[in-house]
Amino acid sequence: MLEALTGTGLAASAGLNAYIPLLTMGLLARYTDLIELPDGWQWLSGGWAIGILVVLLAVEVVADKVPVLDHANDVVQTVIRPTAGGLAFGAGSASQTVTVSDPGSFFGSHQWVPVAAGVVIALCVHGVKAVSRPVVNASTAGLGAPVASTAEDLGSVLLSVLAILLPVLVLLGLLLMMFATWWVIRRRKRRKREGRPLEGVGTERLFG
């Protein structure tokens, strides 16, 4: 279960920001003993890989905080985030961390299963993020975009660290994300209900 929680947390983190979980694993594997990447994923801790991820992360952080541009970024990230989620789940679930003692037993020889699971998890989280952002922008005249984006980036960092160090707490993080999703959907429905009567009143005044 710890391997599954580690992979799930990293994939969910990738749904919020494609590069944070990969960069977290790469940095921790390169400079600490908190995680040991399996042979097929050692490239994540390489200097070139870390450098490229830093540049991509910088671009993502800026683009995701500008209204309108954040929507275009979400469209592009529809492919990138699930892919990163698959990579993060595959690498993280097979890694030896401070909480996992037998990484080789995870999913047996079915190497594609964790990658596919990571793609699905990241895609679901990305979908929620992409749907909720227009609601935030509309309700705050675009001023909420950088705040929401910063919160998502911090959430991605927190999920990545918890997935590696305390994977049991990943469940708490996922519950918080589900609550946030419920809150956004509820707010969106309430805005729609409030908008219809206003339109009706305007129509009656115009033609009445």
* pLDDT tens digit sequence for 97-117: 544 444 444 445 456 677 788
Count of structural domains, the chain? 1
- Output the pLDDT for position 151: 86
Q: Work out the pLDDT band at 193, boundaries 50, 70, 90.
A: low
- The residue ranking higher by pLDDT, 96 or 199, is 96
The two three-digit tokens of residue 82, written as one number: 């699930």
* d(C-alpha 21, C-alpha 87), whole Å: 10
Residues 81-92 pLDDT 10s: 999 988 888 777
Residue 150 and residue 106: Cα distance in Å, rounded?
34
Give the structural domain span for 26: 2-207
pTM of the model: 0.74
The arithmetic mean of pLDDT across residues 67-73, rounded, is 85
**Cα dihedral sign for 27, 29, 30, 32?**
positive
